[in-house]
Each structure stands twice: as C-alpha cells, then as structure tokens.
Structure 1
Amino acid sequence: MKVHVLLTKEEINAERLRENGKVAVVLDVLLATTTIISALNEGAKEVIPVMDENEAFSLSQSLKHENFILAGERDARPIEHFHYPSPTMLSPLVLGKSLILSTTNGTIALKKAESAEFVYISSLLNNKRTAQQLLDCHQESTIVIICSGNAGEVSLEDVYGAGHLIHSLLDLSQKSLNMSDAAKMAYYLFLGNPYKASELLSSSSVGKLFERHGLFDDLQLAATANTVSVLAVMKNGTALLEEEHASQSEIRKVRDI
C-alpha cells in the first residue's frame, strides 16, 4: 500500500487524484470532519458538504423535504441563519435529518477530492475504523490522506490526525507501508506525541482560536481517539455511513433486476 499526505487542500490536483483509482481520505480535525463523523454517529441521515453559504441555501430550496439543518462558518465566524458547525451543539439536533454543512476548509477539501475513486471522511474519532477499511478493501491502491489545512496554511492538528491514521494502518496490518516523505513526517509527528492529542490540538492556531471562542467541549471531543466505529464515505456528493451506502447499493441492484 502506498500512502501519501497532502498538507493542505490547495495541494489537491483533481487529475492526479483521478489516475489509477486513487483513494482519498479527508481530514479536518478542527473541525469539519469531526462534525461529520459525530453527526452520522448521532443518527444524521446524511451530511452534504457544500462550497459556501450560497450553495447551501440553494440546495436547501431544492430539497423535497424540510427535514434538514443548515450549519456553517466562514473564517470561524457564524453564518447568519445557520447553526454553528459545532459537533457538541449539533449532536441533539441531527437525528434523522440531512445536515447541509459549509465550512472554510473541510467541506471545500471534500468537494475538491471528489475526483478520487473513493473518498472517505476521517478524524481522530474514527481513524481506526477508516484504517481497517483501507486494509480490507484498498491494499493495492495509493492512499492520499488530505489535510484540509487553514486558508492555505498547514494545520498542526490535521497533520497529527494524518499521522494517527498512518499509525492505525501500521498497527492493524503489522506490515510496512510505502510512505512518501510527507506521510513519514505526519507519522513521526504522531509517534512523538501519541498521548498528547488534547495538548497538541489546544496549542495549534485553530485550537487557540477555539479556546478564545469558548469551544472547549469541541476541542475535547476532537482530541478523543478511536471512540467511534463510524465509517463515512462520500457518494454522489453526500457523506453517508458506509453501511447505509451498502444497503442503498443493494436496493439499486434489486430495482435493476
């Protein structure tokens, strides 16, 4: 298995992702992918990442049902008429609903990664489950771990999350990986701080911003490793539980008979 890490979403090259069946894993530890994994774990029907609030409003108008929630931020500031995309705040609201999500970095990274053959959503919460899926289904593929970053800058927490995912791959497989230098850098960052997720996230630029805004519960949640067995995959622009995706595929097969 080849593993490469992109340090920011701006490094995404759609044509190169499309080549040879590459598998993308998108991380935005603070906070979009943590929010998505938490929402799906709390029973959200789906999470639909969008580029901006205009796309979110347009999509909400086109839905044939009203059972949805708009959540988003721009440069860490709330968007008017949107819920703030805090996983702890959204947790009691998402059961059975579609979550339309717009963020400065993570949702844009997910949209830009769509040219890969498979796109998974991961976080510290579910990296172990994601790693198991990669080992079970994509042993012969090139895995591209995409750190969303922050407005073109590298985010410490995303690189740490990428290192944690690589550590999970190594721990589960007990085999070596063909890692790029960027992947090795992420792995060694994690290896030097395996039990310091909370401290590291709080010390990051985005983490300090969260602390200034009083988002301590979200920081604590985002730093919690392997507590959720959710496997999330992008399908037709929507984040779904892999189990739900599989069942929908089976339904389509039955309809085609």
Structure 2
Amino acid sequence: MQKVHLLLKKEELNEEKIETGNKIAVVLDVLLATTTITSALHNGAKEVIPVMNSVEALEVAKTIPASDCVIAGEFEARPIDGFVYPSPTLIGKMIENKTLILSTTNGTVALRKSAGATKVFIASLVNNPYVANAIQLEKDAETIVVVCSGNSTGFSLEDFYGAGHFIHCLAGDKREEYELTDSALAALMFYQGRAEDSKQTLANSLVGRMFTRHEGESDLQLAAEKGAINLVPILKDGKVVSSDKGVEVKNK
C-alpha cells in the first residue's frame, strides 16, 4: 500500500528525507507557477527551467540565445524588472519553440527543493487527472509526497484545494490502495466539499483576491479549469519537460 503524504507549504520540505527511499514528489503552485509551466509546455515551449531567484535566472539566460528563451518571474507577487510576469495567458503567446526560464517566490523554489525525489511531477488543476494517472503506474514508489508550495503567509488555500483534487484523481475509486495521512485526507475532504466550485475557491484565496484586484481574471479562469490540459510535466536534470501525454481519465 502506497502512502500519500501532504506538505502544506514548501518550508515543510526536508531535502534529506525526500532523497531517502523511493519517493515521488508532486508539486503544486496553482496560482501560478505549476499552472504556468503546464500551460507553457502545452503552448509549445521546448522546456522550462525553474530557478531559485532572479539572479540565477539571469545566469541561466547567459547560456541560451536571447531569441530562444523567455525569462519570466515575480518576487512576492511583484513583477521583476526586465522579466515577463509569469502569467500563463501572456506567456502562452510568446513561448512556442522557446525555453522558459522561470523564477517565482514559491513554486519554483518548491520544485528545486523536491529535486532529490525519485521522480518529480508538476501538477495543477489543469492537469491533475493526467499526473494522477501517470503516478498510478508507479507501483514501486513507497510514498507519494504532495507538496503545496504555499504563499507569503505559509498556507495556501488554492494549493490545498489543488492537492485535494489531485488526491481525488489518484485515489478516488481506489482508496484501498493508498494510505492517506491526515493532512492528505483533509485536503481530499475539503476538495470533495467544493468540487463544483473551483473558480470561486481560487478567487476566495489570498492570491486569488489579488488577481481579481489586478485584472488577472483570465489567469484565474485558466487555473480553475480542471483537466483542461492533457500533459504530464516532470522535472529531469533541472529542467521541466513533458513526458508522454496522459490518457483519457474519468476522475476530473
């Protein structure tokens, strides 16, 4: 029986523990990093390179011709001078056949901190069903660690909801195959109570309210579209690439 454990914020990640045993990490930053990454790959990006901060982003950019990459990022929800804001709807218009170098306060940091896991999957509401389907095939994994990236206050409502949706897709009709920790079960129960209210749940969150104030309606709408993108992004050698597409699944 595989254990499903939920971390409520990136600060709970222990990089030494994630490297021990056969662990799969599933990283969520619903608003917005993992939605942006999935959307960018869907829109034709060659790859996405998640970095820890803007300084590292500029260093990585030196290794790629300027015409072949897009540098995007935010710090504490504010734009970074000279960077494209990491809006999936904006980046989608400019990313085809290019590399996305992405720096965010929480999501890309959580990805990098998870890199020691046996496999690292990038998940969000838009692709949770397909990531869950791929992980169901990973029978050798001992533990599935679901990581909510969190926000400036620590706990993130939208990531908790997204984690619940992922766990629903993973174990919804196969609960006997998984041992859910209390945190994982709490997320699942929260999601099940609001399964039909994805956009409103995201809009009610701290970051969602900020999006509403700053004309981020299109990004909020995209992030709330459960199962809209049939992609399974994985972190491999420091870069996020698309693995084989998932298959059509029922639990969306």
Q: 2: distance between equivalents of 1:171 and 1:184?
A: 11
- Structure 1: which 5+ runs fail to align? 245-257
The whole-number CA distance in structure 1 between the counterparts of 2:92 and 2:47 is: 14
Q: Secondary structure at the match of 2:85?
A: coil
Q: Name the amino acid aligned to 2:111.
A: L
Correspondence 1:45-194 to 2 at 5 A:
45-63=46-64, 66-138=67-139, 140-151=141-152, 153-171=154-172, 173=174, 175-194=176-195
Q: What is the CA deviation profile of residues 109-128 of structure 1, one whole-angstrom value per residue up to 9, with x for unaligned ones?
A: 00111111110000000000
Whether the 8 Å CA contact 2:22–2:141 is kept in 1: the answer is no
Q: Indicate the residue corresponding to 1:5 in structure 2.
A: 6
Q: Secondary structure at the match of 2:122?
A: strand
Q: Deviations over 1:95-148 (max 9, x none)?
A: 100000001110000011111111000000000000001101246420000000
Q: Partner letter of residue 19 of structure 1? A: T
Percent of residue pairs identical: 45
Aligned to 2:23: 22
Q: Match of 2:233?
A: 232
Query: Structure 1 counterpart of 2:95, which letter?
Result: V
Q: How far apart are the structure 2 equivalents of 1:103 and 1:186?
A: 24
Give the CA deviation at 1:151: 2.6
| Unaligned 5+ runs, structure 2 | 246-252
Aligned partners of 2:176 and 2:132: how far apart in 1? 13
Q: Which residue of 2 aligns with 1:242?
A: 243
Q: CA deviation at 1:64?
A: 5.5
Q: How big is each residue's C-alpha offset from its partner over 1:211-238, in whole Å with a ceiling of 9 and x where there is no partner?
A: 1111000001001100111000000110
- 1:28 is displaced (CA, Å) by 0.1
Question: Residue 9 of structure 1 contacts residue 152 of structure 1 at CA under 8 Å; is this kept in 2?
Answer: no
Cα drift, residue 80 of structure 1: 0.7
Larger helix proportion, structure 1 or 2? 1
The CA distance in 1 between the partners of 2:67 and 2:200, in whole Å, is 40
Give the C-alpha shift of residue 6 in structure 1: 0.2
Return the offset for 1:66: 3.7
Counterparts in 2 of 1:70 and 1:140: CA distance versus 1, 3 Å? closer
Structure 1-normalised TM-score? 0.92
